[in-house]
Amino acid sequence: MARKGEDEAESVKRKTNPKTSKCFSSDIPKPECTEKNCKNLKCCEGYKCQLNKNGKPKCKKLKKTYQLLKEIDIDNENTMSMSNTGNTILSHNDGAGKIMSCVFEDDRVEASSTAIESCGFYPGWTNTVSGDGEVVVLADFGNSVKTYRRGTKKFDQKWYQFGQDIQSDKHNFGTSVASSKNGDILVVGADECCQSDDPELGYVQRYEFQYDSENKDYLGEWQAVGEGIIGEYTDDEIGRLAIGISADGNRIAVGGGTNGFVSVYDWDEGVKAWNKIQRLSFDCKGWADCVCDLTCIQCEVESDPNFGEDHLWLSPDGNILAIGEADYHPDRIPSNYTYTSKGAIHFYEWEGGQFVKSVESVVGQYEYSYIGYSFDLTEDGKTLVVVTSCDVQIMEKDETRNQYVTIQTIVADIDGYTKAVTISDDGNSVAIMDVYGSSTLQLYTTPMLSPIPSLAPSIFGDEENCRNVISNVLKSMWN
C-alpha cells in the first residue's frame, strides 16, 4: 500500500527488502542503521531486532565475526597482496609468482591459480596488486620489475605482461612497489641507492604507463616521470620496504631502514615532481642523543628504530596513515629493548595541511608480539587486522574511546607462523598467509555479508556466468 500522499507509480518504484528495510529508490533516502524501532521485524543489514529492557523492539547491531571459508596450499610464498575488492590475490616466492582470482567463491580454488614464471626473473622480495585487481606487479630484487594485466576481452581468461620490464641501474631497485588503483601509475624503491659517499640514502621513482592508443589495451610502455626521490640522510634507505600510494597516485608515504621515519610526498602535475610535505618519526625514548625533531637521525647505539621500516598503510584517499613499529616497547632502553619488543601501530589523519596523531596506538599485549610488521585496514580505517607473533587480531575502531578494540582472535597454525594478512576495503574478506610450516593461505569471510563476485572477466568463465552467480546470490537473499 502506498503511503499517504504517495502516488501509485512511486509505490511500485519503491521496493523494500523485507529482511533489511533498505529502500532502493533514488528519491527516497535509505534508513539510518541505528537503534530505531523495528516494527514488522525490519532492520538494516548487520542489525537484528531484539527487545530492550522495557520490552520494546530495537535494532541492535550484530557482532561481526569472521569464519574460515577455505584453505589453499601454497609453496612457501614470501609475500602476499590483495586487491581492494578481494577478487585478486598475488603471492610469490623466490622462483615464481602466483595469481589467484575469485578465491572467495566457494567452488573455485584449484582452477583459480595462474603461475608466472620467466627465465632469469626470480620474484621473491615484494609485490602489489592494483586496487581494482586488474594489474599485478612483481619485483625480483635484482633491478627488474614486471607488470601483468588481466585480459580485457569478454572471453579472455589470461594474464598478459603489461608493458616492458622496468629496469634501473639503481642498486637494489625493486625493494618496494606500490600501484595506483587502476594500475597505470607505479612507484618503485631502491634502498641502497644513490651516492658513492652515502650509498644507503635510498631512492623512489614514479612510473606512468603511456598507451599507444586510446583503446588502452596492452600496447605501450612504462616511462619514468620526474626526478626520483633521494633519501635526506645517511642510512635513510628510503624505499626499503614500507610504501603506500593513494588511489589516484598523487600522494605517497614511504619509510626506510635504520633512521625510524616515514616521509609523505604529494605529486605536482604541473612541474612533474614530488613535493615533501612531512617527515614523521618515532618516539625517541630509549635512544640516547638522538635528535627528535622530525629528522631522528640514527645514532651510534646497539640497534636502530623500526618505525616505518617494515610496513605502513595509506588510505585510498590519502588522508589516513598507519605506521608499524615492530620493535616498540613502552619501557625500552638501548640495552634491552631488542628482546622485549611488543610492537606498535601508530595512526595519523590529515588535518590542517599535515598528518596529526589520531587514534590511540595499538601496542602488543605481550613480549615478543612484534605488532606492526604486517597489518591492513579497510578503506575507511574502521577495521584493522594485525599479525602478532602467534595469532591474528581483528579489531574495530571505537569512536567513543578513540581506540581499536579486538573483536576476534584467529590463532595461527602451530606448524608455521603468520607472514602476512590483508583485508578487503569493505571488511568482508580477510586473507592470512602462514608459511614455513603448513604453508597455507587461509580465507575468512563474514557470513552475514558474503562478498558478491566481481563481474570482471576471470579465468573461471565469462560475464554471463558471473551474472548467473550474482542472480543466485540475490535470490537467496530475498527468499
Cα–Cα distance for residue pair 60/448, rounded to 1 Å: 15
Judge if 247 and 377 occupy the same domain: yes
33 and 174 inside one domain: no
**pLDDT tens, position by position, 16-30:** 333 333 322 233 334
| Residue 361 burial (CB count, 10 A) | 19
Q: Which residues contact 262 (CB under 8 A, 6 or more apart)?
A: 242, 253, 254, 255, 279, 280, 307, 308, 312, 321, 323
Distance separating alpha carbons of residues 479 and 475, to the nearest angstrom: 6
- Position 3 scores a pLDDT of 39
Average pLDDT over residues 258-268: 92
CA 187 vs CA 148, 175, 263, 446: distances in Å: 16, 11, 14, 33
Q: Which residue has the cell 646497539?
A: 302
80 & 170 share domain: yes
Q: Is residue 339 part of a domain?
A: yes
SS3 93: coil
For residue 468, is it within any domain? no
CA-CA-CA-CA dihedral for 204, 209, 210, 212, to nearest 10: 150
Percent of the chain with pLDDT over 90: 34
Q: What is the mean pLDDT of residues 175-196?
A: 90
Number of domains in the chain: 2
Asked if residue 199 and residue 176 are part of one domain, the reply reads: yes
**Pairing of β 273-281 and β 312-314:** unpaired
For residue range 57-103, what is the model confidence (pLDDT) as tens digits? 777 666 778 999 888 877 666 678 899 888 888 887 656 677 887 77
What is the pLDDT confidence band of residue 176, given thresholds at 50, 70 and 90? Answer: very high
What pLDDT shows up at residue 44? 63
143 or 20: which leads in pLDDT: 143
Residue 336's pLDDT band, with cuts at 50, 70 and 90, is very low
Give pLDDT, residue 362.
Answer: 96
Same domain, 363 and 431: yes
Give dist(CA 351, CA 318) in Å, integer. 12
Q: Give the domain extent around 225.
A: 67-449
Lowest mean pLDDT of 88-92, 274-278, 307-311, 446-450, name the range: 446-450
Residues 423-434: pLDDT tens digits?
999 999 999 987
The pLDDT tens digits for 109-125 are: 443 556 665 544 555 56
Same domain for 52 and 72:
no
Q: Give the per-residue pLDDT at 351.
A: 96
Tell me the pTM: 0.78
Position 361 scores a pLDDT of 95
One domain for residues 80 and 144:
yes
79 and 48, same domain (yes or no): no
